[in-house]
Every structure is written in C-alpha cells, then in structure tokens.
Amino acid sequence: VRAVILAAGAGKRLRARFNQPKPLIRLCGLSLLERNILSLRACGVREFIVITGCYREEIEAHLGDGRKLRVDIQYLHNPDWQLGNGVSAFTFRPLHRPGEKFLLLMADHLFDQRVLRDFLAQEPFLPEDQVLLAADRRLDQVFDLDECTKIEMAGSLPRRLGKDLKEFAAVDCGLFLCTGALLEALARAIGRGAYALTDAVNILAGEGKLRLHFVDGPWIDVDEEKSYRQAEKMLLQSLIPPKDGFISKHINRRFSLAITRQVARTGLTPNQITLVSLLVAAASAFAFALGRPLWGGLLAQCCSILDGVDGEIARLKFLQSKYGALFDAVLDRYADYLVVMGMVYGWYAQTGEAAAFLLGMLALTGLPLSMLFKEKFQALTGQTYIPEEHDGILRYLPANRDGRLFLIMLGGLFHQVPLCLLLLALVTHLQALARLVKGRQLMRHQE
C-alpha cells in the first residue's frame, strides 16, 4: 500500500509559536511528517507521496527523496492549496493506478502504532468501490472535540460529516483507506465548487460507499499549542511497555520519561545513553568504594532509571536495533558488577572484614542469573519468560534489575551495605532456584 500525505496547508496557529511550517514542527525529536512516515514504515509501508502547497521548498528540503528514512518519497505540488484540502488530495489522481488501494492521511494527525497497524489490516476486506475512514466513537476521550469533524450515523453507516453537526456518534480521525472511488467523488465535488475533502467524503456517504473503522487507541490532531503538549504526552505514555517490573512501573518510568522528553531533542543515540548509564554505574561504584554509600545508592538508582531511557528513545525515534538490545544487555551486566564490586571494596576498606568478599562473591554470582534464565528460556522455547506473569508470588522479590538496583539504593541511603549484599545474594539465588522449578512446569506442558 502506498501512502498519500497531505502537507499543503498553512497551519497558522502553530506557525506563530514555532516559526516552522506545521508538518516540520519537531515533536520528541522528529518532525510530524517524519514521525508519520516512520510509523507507517514500521507497519510495512515503503512508498510515500507527499502533497505540498504552502511550504513546498521547506518540506522537500527537509525530507529529500526519503533515502535517509529508508523509504521512497515522491512529491506532488498543489499551487491552489488555498482552495481546500480536497483539491490537494485530488493532485494524486494522475499517479493513481487502476484498482490501487492507498492510504490517505494528514501530516499533522498522529496515531499510536497499534491504531495504524489495525487500520492497515483492513485493507484486504475493503471492496474496490468503497472508502474506509478511521473514526473514534469514544467521544469523552477525544481531545478538543470542538475542532473535530463530526460524523452523524444512520444505524451502523455514516450519514453525514461536518464540523458543526449537533447529533453525532463519532468523529473523523483524518485517516482513510481509499480506492478510485474517492478520486471520483473528489472530481464531482470540485466540479461543483466544493473544495474540502469532507465534501467528497459526504458524497460517498450519501451513496453508501463510506465505511467506518473505529479506532481503539490514542491519536491526536496537532493544530495548536495545547494539542502539541497533549501529543507529546501521548507519545511518551506509549513508550511504557505492557509488562514492566514493579519498581520500573511505579518509580523509574516517571523519571525516565521526563529524561527521555529532554534527551529526545538532542542527537543522543540509544547506544550512547547505554554507555552513559554504564558511566553512572561506575560513578556509583566509586562513591561506594570511597565510603559514600548515600551517593552510591542514589547513583545506582539513576543508573536504573537511565536503563529505561535508552529503550524509550529507541522506540520514540524509531531507532530500535537488535544490536542495541544486545549491547544494552551486556553493558547492564557490567554496570551491575561495578556497583556491587564498589560496595564490597568500600565495606572491606573500612573494616578489613573478609566477609565483605564472601558476600560479595555470592551477590556477584547471583546478578546475571535472572537474565541468563530468561534468555535461555526464550532461545529454547521461542517464548518470552515474563517475570510479572510466570514468577508467581516471587515477582515481588527484588531479583530483577529494577528491584536489585532499588535494593542497592536503599542499602546506600541507610548505610546498610553488608545487609544489602546479603539480601542481593539471597534474592538472586532464590529466584534462580524457584525458576528452575517453574521452568520445569512451563516446559513440560509444551512437550
């Protein structure tokens, strides 16, 4: 499926604030246009047609031929963009291939990845003479309802669309899966002097050729500062993985999302953030070694928070890579090792007790077991071992990384390094043994 993106308008309200054409306004490190293209690329779309109007040069200079984003971008220019967005959409007509289905979206509407994916999955079911419109009937959740194009329904079909309808059951999300039927309707609407996309869509609705797909995830129309802030919030919220550790979920994410919001504006890559996280762990180790457990503990917790940031930035800016995941996994182990060695050294340096080394060795050997088990389980079964689901009551044991580093922070704050090492050793090895039992149950079921 090719995607046609309308980026012809002037977008005055945001222009005043950002001094940038609206499609090029940066949000979390990417322009709105780039974000839409990369979101669709993640759903398998590789060919894009961008329709420009008011800011032709700026937009073409910004995106080029798409090679940088690893997609193919063509441009169409609509000199009459001021007439209405129906005229802009109609510019695509000469490029449309017989029988082709294409996606049509606005450069300034953002969608959650899952919403796009679900919508694109409808493609095989759309008849050749119809058009599918993404709509939202969760009216209480729609942002800035006043500004939305409303949809009046007749039973399960849309009857009429318009900004000022009184009776409506859903709103238009500005995302279409089109066939030639849309281009024909546009021709007729323009012929009678109706230049808005909604005019053509109303023709289709009147002829029973418009179908709706109700979205059930976040989306937003970014057209002034309030919705810009809301969009940023929506993007950051989408970064929280469905299964998160207890400490991650309730403490770390608050901080990591705030950091990610700032870091996204810079050019820092996820791997660079992983490295910074290792350096913070080294600083924590030094603090513990020099007899400053308070600082050591706080820095260990910072390391834990940064551990979330690299992945968040990767997802937010479409920079995920398998190597990034591997790099992160290995460096996190080293970070853990450093912090615990710092604790052991600090304890020993102050007291001369060999017990520091004994507990240190037990804790160090326990650290990598959680990951070892999970990766081996996945490599053998092809399934992910999810602590929050499979560990049962032991999921509250602070034996996963977020829990371990939290324990270390507490140990530092309360000057309880020996107790902390003892607990680390206990929880990590206890978890490993419990998982050997649990893994047996899980895998026996499969065979």
* Interface ranges with a second copy (CB under 8 A): 321-323, 325-327, 329-330, 333, 337, 341, 344, 348, 354, 357, 360-361, 364-365, 368-369, 371-373, 375-381, 432, 436, 439-440, 443-444, 446-447
Q: In the numeric block, which tokens belong to residue 389?
A: 């689901």
Spatial contact of 388 and 243, defined as CB atoms under 8 Å apart: yes
- The helix/strand count (H/E) of the chain reads as 18, 13
Nearer to a second copy, 66 or 368 (CB): 368
CB of 348 to a second copy, least distance (A): 7
Query: Which residues, at least 6 apart from 215, have a Cβ–Cβ distance to it below 8 Å?
Result: 111, 115, 118, 119, 134, 135, 136, 173
CB of 394 to a second copy, least distance (A): 16
Spatial contact of 346 and 417, defined as CB atoms under 8 Å apart: yes
Query: Which residues, at least 6 apart from 218, have a Cβ–Cβ distance to it below 8 Å?
Result: 111, 112, 115, 234, 237, 238
Instruction: Please give the Cα distance from 220 to 10 (Å, whole number).
Output: 18
CB of 68 to a second copy, least distance (A): 16
CB of 365 to a second copy, least distance (A): 5
CB of 352 to a second copy, least distance (A): 9
The separation between CA 208 and the C-alpha centre of its own chain, rounded to angstroms, equals 36
Phi-psi group of 147: left, alpha or beta (phi > 0 → left; psi -120 to 50 → alpha; rest → beta): alpha
Nearer to a second copy, 129 or 389 (CB): 389
Per-residue 3-state assignment (H helix, E strand, C coil) for 127-186:
CCCCEEEEEECCHHHCCCHHHCCEEEEECCEEEEEECCCCCCCEEEEEEEEECHHHHHHH
CB of 323 to a second copy, least distance (A): 4
Nearer to a second copy, 16 or 326 (CB): 326
Nearer to a second copy, 227 or 284 (CB): 284
Per-residue 3-state assignment (H helix, E strand, C coil) for 226-268:
HHHHHHHHHHHHCCCCCCCCHHHHHHHHHHHHHHHHHHCCCCC
CB of 284 to a second copy, least distance (A): 16
Nearer to a second copy, 167 or 323 (CB): 323
Nearer to a second copy, 134 or 367 (CB): 367
CB of 443 to a second copy, least distance (A): 4
Nearer to a second copy, 246 or 337 (CB): 337
CB of 378 to a second copy, least distance (A): 4
Nearer to a second copy, 112 or 336 (CB): 336
CB of 203 to a second copy, least distance (A): 45
Residue showing tokens 């220019």: 77
φ/ψ (deg, to 5) at 236:
-65, -40
Spatial contact of 405 and 412, defined as CB atoms under 8 Å apart: no
CB of 345 to a second copy, least distance (A): 9
Judged on CB neighbours under 10 Å (0-12, 13-18, 19+), 422 is: middle
Nearer to a second copy, 31 or 274 (CB): 274
Paired sense of beta strands 131-136 and 102-106, if any: unpaired
Nearer to a second copy, 262 or 378 (CB): 378
Nearer to a second copy, 379 or 393 (CB): 379
Residue showing tokens 């460096």: 331
- List Cα–Cα distances, 419 to 255, 300, 411, 427, in angstroms: 27, 17, 7, 12
Q: What angle do CA 345, 347, 350 make, to 5 degrees?
A: 105
Name the maximum alpha-carbon separation found in the chain: 92
